A and B are shown apart, each in its own frame.
Chain A
């Protein structure tokens, strides 16, 4: 372990500590929250912020070596891929009803009072082509 010897190192260590705390909150939220959507909220959002902070801290600590751009690449990749996987997982979770409907305040995919019977629900394609035979 090298010593902390400058202001930049103090900033980097602070970033690392806060990022690690965000990772801990992601774990706590994963354990405590009631359904898939809220667990995903807890597991991805603080995690992205935490990973961003940790990558920034590591990039500050590793300044001058040739791998700094790789750390920032990992951070940018997290920002790009977290919405994609969250979208896929939440879509499957909604369709298979792993969602606590009684905890939802607004359910824009659920139809509502004006929904006709037989109308396509909001989470399926509007052309009515349903390969699952529903």
Chain B
């Protein structure tokens, strides 16, 4: 049983660490949203594993809250920050977004043909 708990928590912790690396590296806001979503779901999975292995049902309501929170967070960020990004003519800083919200993705061909990195304008689209 100890082996099972060590294995399970090691795999969950590895998933959390990799999601945290993606959360810190970005490069765009949407990558961070996806990573945060994955992080919250893995955290709720870890709580469920703890509840199952110890037969301790007291953390199960926390599970419902964390699951709801992940959904509300990703949807609100995608809806409102994404709407602000669509309204802005530039890279989002003119509507009050931080710089990291609109960083160029790695190896993006759209940023290689004239448009500078971080400012994808509509010029790339005919």
Chain A residues within CB distance 8 Å of chain B = 1-4, 12-13, 16-17, 19-21, 23-28, 30-31, 34-36, 39-40, 43-44, 47, 50-51, 54-55, 57-58, 60-62, 65-67, 70-71, 73-74, 77-78, 81, 84-85, 88-89, 91-93, 95-98, 100-102, 117, 131-134
A24→B12 contact, CB < 8 A: yes
Could you tell me the distance in whole angstroms from the C-beta of B34 to the nearest C-beta in chain A? 5
- Chain A residues, CB < 8 A from B42: 23, 26-27, 47
A35→B41 contact, CB < 8 A: no
Within 8 A of A (CB), among B11-38: 11-12, 14-19, 21-22, 28, 30-31, 33-35, 37-38
Interchain CB contact (< 8 A) of B8 among A20, A39, A95 = A20
Chain B residues within CB distance 8 Å of chain A = 1-2, 4-5, 7-9, 11-12, 14-19, 21-22, 28, 30-31, 33-35, 37-38, 41-42, 44-45, 48-49, 51-55, 57, 60-61, 63-64, 67-68, 71, 74-75, 78-79, 82, 85-87, 89, 102, 105-110, 120, 122, 124, 126
**Closest Cβ neighbor of A43 among chain B residues:** B38
Most buried by A among B2, B51, B102, B107: B51
**Closest Cβ neighbor of B23 among chain A residues:** A30
Q: Looking at chain B's contact residues, is the secondary structure mostly helix, strand, loop, or mixed?
A: helix
Q: Given known contacts A13-B4, A92-B85, A98-B30, is B38 in contact with A30 (CB within 8 Å)? A: yes
Interchain CB contact (< 8 A) of B78 among A24, A34, A71, A88 = A88
Q: Given known contacts A24-B11, A24-B14, A89-B34, is B109 in contact with A58 (CB within 8 Å)? A: no
B120→A31 contact, CB < 8 A: no
A20→B7 contact, CB < 8 A: yes
Complex alpha-carbon distance, A78 and B71, angstroms: 9
**Closest Cβ neighbor of A35 among chain B residues:** B105
- Chain B residues, CB < 8 A from A96: 28, 30, 82, 85-86, 102, 120
B1→A2 contact, CB < 8 A: yes
- Chain B residues, CB < 8 A from A93: 30
